[in-house]
Structures are given as C-alpha cells and as structure tokens.
Amino acid sequence: MAFGHSFTKFLNNNFIDELCNVASEYLNEHGDTLELKLRKVQEIGEIELLDTRINKVYVNDLPGTKIAFDVILELELEVREADYHFDESDTCTPWIRVPCTGDLSKDIKEWEIQTDEIVQYFKKNAPTNCLSDSLVPYISSEQLEDIATEFLKSYYPNALSRASGGIPVTVDPFILAETLGLKVEQKVIRSDSVFGQIYFEDTDADVSDLFSDGSSHISARTIVVDPYRFCFSSYGSINNTIIHECVHWVMHRKAFLLEKLFDSKVSRITCEVATKTEQQKAQEELKFIEWQANQLAPRIQMPAEPFKARAKEYIVNLQRLNRAKYEFEVMEQVIDNLAQEFNVSRQSAKIRLVQLGFHQAVGAYTYVDGHYVKAHSFKPGLLKPNQTFSISAYDAAVERFKNQELRNLTENGDYLFVDNHFVYNAPQYVQTSADGRLELTDYALAHMDECCLVFDLKIKNNINKDYQTVCFLNRDESDVTFEVSFHNELKTAPKEKQTEHRKNVMAEALKIRRDMTDDPTKCLKQLLVWRNVKQNELAYTIGRDPTTISRIINGKNEPDLKTVVLICFALHLPPCISSKLLDVFNIRLSPTCRCSLSLSLFCLLGLSGTNFHSAQ
C-alpha cells in the first residue's frame, strides 16, 4: 500500500464527471454574473465551457467518517462578442467553489454536492481546511495542549478532574481503548522498529502469540503491542504505546479510509511505495502522523492543568518538608512522585514538566557516566535545548584535547572537571567532602550559569528532529549517541571575590612549581607539607600500602604511572605541578590512550580536578 494518497487525485479519478456536470449547470444559470477578465471582448455574448479542472481541494473534518470538502474548479471558457459588428472571442479561466460532503465509509455515489451554495472563488475568500490532501489533520505545536484536552473531554473526561483527596485520575489505556471500541492484544511484532500497531480492518498479520511462531489473524479495531519492545525511554512504556495507537484511531482514521478507497485490502497504515515521488510524500505524511501521536500521547497521559497543579503542590510540600531553599533540590522527588501517580516513566514526567514551564526540572535526572549527576539549576532561558553543563569524563578529555580555548581555561586549574562539570576553581563553587572528594557546593549547584562551562550536544544517530529535544533531556542508556563540543560564546561570570581568590591560589601554585627540584624525594616531601598530608594518610587515600609509599618518598622504590597519577589526584595538584611531578619521575604519557576513564588521559589533558576515586 502506498500511504499518502491524494484526495484530490481520488476526486479526479472518480468524481470529476459529476463536478463537470455541476459546473456546466452553474455556468448556464450564473454565467452572466461571473467576473471575467477579458482582453478582446467588449460585450459578453455566448459562453462555452471548454474544460474543467480541479485546482485545489479544501477538506474539513466532520463527526464519524464524514468529511466536508470544497472543490475549487478552474473553468476554461471561450467567450464570444455579443455585438455582431465585431467577430471577436476571448478565453479566460475563472474559478468556482463547489461545496461537497461525503462519508468515507460509503460509496462515492452517495456523496453530495451542495449546488445551491456554489459561488465564484477568489483567493481572498479561500476557505479554511483542517485536513491535508492525505486527510491528515493539520496540527501546530501551539495547538497540542488544546487538542489533548479536547481528546480527554470526549473520551476520558475524568482525567481532567481529581479524585477524592486531590489525587489525579490516571488515564487507564485499556479503559480508553474500550471507550473507543478497541481491544488490546499482546503479541510478538517482527518489525524491530515497531512497539505497537493499530489495525483498522481484519487481516492476517506478521505477528504471533508470545510463545509461538507464525502469523496471526487480527480483527478490526485491534491494537497489538509487543511487551518485549518497551525499552526506549519515555516512549517505551506499554501505556504510552496503547494511548499512542488510540490517537491514531481518533486522529488518523480518515487517512486510513482514504487509503482504503485506493486499495480495498489495506488494514493498517504502513509505508510500502514504488516510485521515489510517492515514497517521499508517504514518508512526510507518516512523519507527520507519528509526530502528532508522539506529541499527543504524553499530553493525554499527563493533562496540563491537573499535572501542573499536582507538580506545584509537590514542590511546595517537599520544599517545606526538606527545608530546601531551592526548587531544584526537591525536583527529583517531584518527578518520581508524578511518575508514580500518572503511571508514566521518570523521564516522561521530567520532559512533561519542562514542556509546562518547570525550568528546574531540566537539571534533574541527567544521566552521565553510568549515573545521575546531582540535580542543579541555572537562570531560565540560559541554555538552548541542545546545551548542557553535564558531560562524560571521556567527552571532557577529548574536547579539551581538541579545543584550544577549553585547554586554555583548564591548563592552569582555573576550571576543574568535578562531578561531570567544568567548574570554576574557587571555594564558593568547589569543596572537599569528608572522604576527600572534590565536589560542587550547594551554591554552585544552584548557580551553574555563574561557575560552570556550557557544552553543545549533537545527536550522531539519524534521529528525527521532532525527537531531538526528548533525547537531549533524556540521556539514559540507549542507542542514541551524542557529540559534545565546547560552547565558547556563552561565558560564565564567577563573582569578583572568587576570581581574586583564584589569582592568589594560582600565584601560590606557581611559586611551589618554581621551588620544585628534579629530586623525586624532595618534590614529594615538599608537596605533602604544602597540602598538610601525612604519608599514612596518602597511602590510605590512594589504596596503597604505607610501606610502599614510604619507600617511594625515600627514593627506594620507583612508582608506576598509576600510583603517581593517583598521588596527583589525592593531593589535588594543579596541572602545572602534576606535569612537573610526572617529569621528575620520568613518566611519559601517551596521547593515543583511548580509555574513557584512563588515568593517563585525565592527567595528560590536565583534568587534575577529577576525583581519583572515579579514576581508580
């Protein structure tokens, strides 16, 4: 089946004779009232209809399977001069508007033309239309919330209210399907890219029962879902998939019925086309209907007003309960509670919050390096959807290696890579935890725009643009891979007191660096005194035997690369001092190292702010 057939083409193939007859009758009755553009004829005499063509069709939706459509007919006329003294004639092509109605489930012979409503057509009185030429609804991003609300008013009104105790009414997808006269079956779908499928007509499909092979007979009005496929973030839940297919039934049934007018054997909307032109048109229409279902399904699961109201309640209550100063501090709890109440995934709840203007949700549940980074916040509107403060250790190392400007900002320790962020190295933003780790302060987490560098994200996979914002907000483990690049136009602005402190620290580090000799023993002892760290403390911190550390410090043992790098991390040595210590021990690092968490790569690229615990 070639999805994306043209309704105009269907009318040309099947309805043009009726339209031509109507045009001829209209011309006979109203020809003398038409506004015609003539060059030669001064006084209109006889008018002859030479040809009739469909110029455009405007289609509007009606309840059930009915549609109303206005056919704009282009009439090719020959007009003769009325004054017999002049043997002149002229041609012109006026347009007329022919209103019609039809039921896509009935034979075209039963369709009607409102002959008494035919008028001459001018562009200034063009009708509006809500369906495309493939009978797909026109829906803009601005209309999505209203359409989702109207959908619920029609098919699940309770979801727009609250149950006793203020608890939201969850949309049960099975009840919604039943309300629409649909049934849900779980079967194995052999197409790797399909989570679910709505069947409009009876068919034998390439799906099977969960514990058998072969095809199955699927009845009309059936949603088939594959329980083994629900693993792709917010669009991977079975509930979302069922609602997604319900949207197809309500919004795109007329598009299917148009396909059925071309091919009576069709049972579902797919894309199997022959010519390149057909394929391109079909793909565009399929993208459009999938975008509509993908956008509407979560809005139906999480209706705007009940969801916003519940989110605000949770924020207020959890801030009070946790004595939290900032919203972002409780946002992960808010997301979890909303996800549980609305029966959606964590990432789906986060994305919905961002859609509804809860800016603080952007910094919650950001998944990097196999874990969620701490929730954080920044000025509203600062970051574009494809920008972030949080990147993986490997991306940080590679980007610093490639980008000279980023290298300049980090080579003297002004910015450290801490908790998956490049943060300005000052006390208000960076602190040492009880177990010796460097970490962002609470102030830094609340003011990332003040102290952290920004990076651009680019999706490497062939992902539709409509999914990209979802992917940027949801960076959990998946097949989506990102390309990270330093955004050098958006500068952070640390407070003056912190920059002054940084200058003093840098001056001290440079002095220590100048005082370091080429004697490994003297260098290590000097650095231990500078950081006020005992030998035994150092050994415990880096997981080495105290005797081994003692022998290294006293020059009796030569340490390996890993031990020296761990010492650099444990003492939080600036890059200029770390590189000197490596030179003293005659250790050379290879720039060809590829391990994302490699100690040598971290140290080579000056990421000495990285926690040595992670490096181990």
Query: Closest Cα partner for 298 from 340, 335, 254, 353?
Result: 353
Cα dist from 213 to 188, 208, 267, whole Å: 9, 6, 21
Asked if the model's pLDDT at residue 164 lies above 80, the reply is no
What are the φ and ψ backbone dihedral angles of 388, each rounded to 5 degrees?
Answer: -155, 160
52 neighbors 23 (Cβ within 8 angstroms): yes
Q: Which residues touch 35 (CB under 8 Å, ≥6 apart)? A: 94, 120
pLDDT in tens, 471-502: 566 666 555 566 788 887 766 778 777 788 77
Structural domain spans, the chain? 7-125, 141-301, 366-502, 516-615
pLDDT in tens, 544-580: 899 999 999 888 888 888 888 888 888 888 878 888 8
pLDDT in tens, 499-519: 887 788 788 888 988 999 999
Mean pLDDT of 283-303: 90
Confidence of residue 597 (pLDDT cuts 50, 70, 90): very low
How is 60-113 classified by DSSP, letter by letter? EE-STTEEEEEEEEEEEEEEEESSTT---EEEE--EEEEEEEEETTS-GGG-EE
Q: Considering only 83-87, 315-319, 383-387, which range has the smallest mean pLDDT?
A: 83-87
How many residues in total does the chain contain? 616
Nearest-angstrom CA–CA distance, 137 and 144: 12
**Greater model confidence, 438 or 315:** 315
Nearest-angstrom CA–CA distance, 102 and 82: 41
Hey, what are 299's tokens?
């809005």
The packing angle between helices 561-570 and 535-542, to 10°, is 110
Percent helix / strand / coil, the chain, rounded to 5: 45, 20, 35
Nearest-angstrom CA–CA distance, 380 and 383: 8
pLDDT in tens, 6-59: 999 999 999 999 999 999 999 999 888 888 888 888 778 888 899 999 999 999
pLDDT in tens, 405-446: 888 888 877 888 999 999 998 888 999 888 778 899 999 999
Nearest-angstrom CA–CA distance, 318 and 329: 9
Furthest CA-CA distance within the chain: 125
Confidence of residue 608 (pLDDT cuts 50, 70, 90): very low
Asked if the model's pLDDT at residue 233 lies above 50, the reply is no
Percent of the chain scoring above 90 in pLDDT:
45
Confidence at residue 480, expressed as pLDDT on a 0 to 100 scale = 58
Nearest-angstrom CA–CA distance, 457 and 300: 29
Nearest-angstrom CA–CA distance, 149 and 302: 10
Asked if the model's pLDDT at residue 530 lies above 70, the reply is yes
H helix runs in 403-534, sequence order: 404-410, 442-446, 448-451, 465-473, 496-515, 520-531
Q: What is the CATH code for 516-615?
A: 1.10.260.40
Confidence at residue 234, expressed as pLDDT on a 0 to 100 scale = 43
Nearest-angstrom CA–CA distance, 322 and 236: 32
Asked if the model's pLDDT at residue 110 lies above 90, the reply is yes
SS (H, E, C) 369-389: CCEECCCCCCCCCCCCCCEEC
Asked if the model's pLDDT at residue 83 lies above 50, the reply is yes
Confidence at residue 445, expressed as pLDDT on a 0 to 100 scale = 95
Q: Whole-number mean pLDDT of the chain?
A: 84
Percent of the chain scoring above 70 in pLDDT:
85
How is 411-434 classified by DSSP, letter by letter? TTSSEEEETTEEEE-STTTEEE-T
Q: How far is CA 301 from the centre of its chain?
A: 17
Asked if the model's pLDDT at residue 596 lies above 90, the reply is no
Hey, what are 247's tokens?
């949207």
Confidence at residue 101, expressed as pLDDT on a 0 to 100 scale = 97
Mean pLDDT of 311-323: 96
Confidence of residue 320 (pLDDT cuts 50, 70, 90): very high
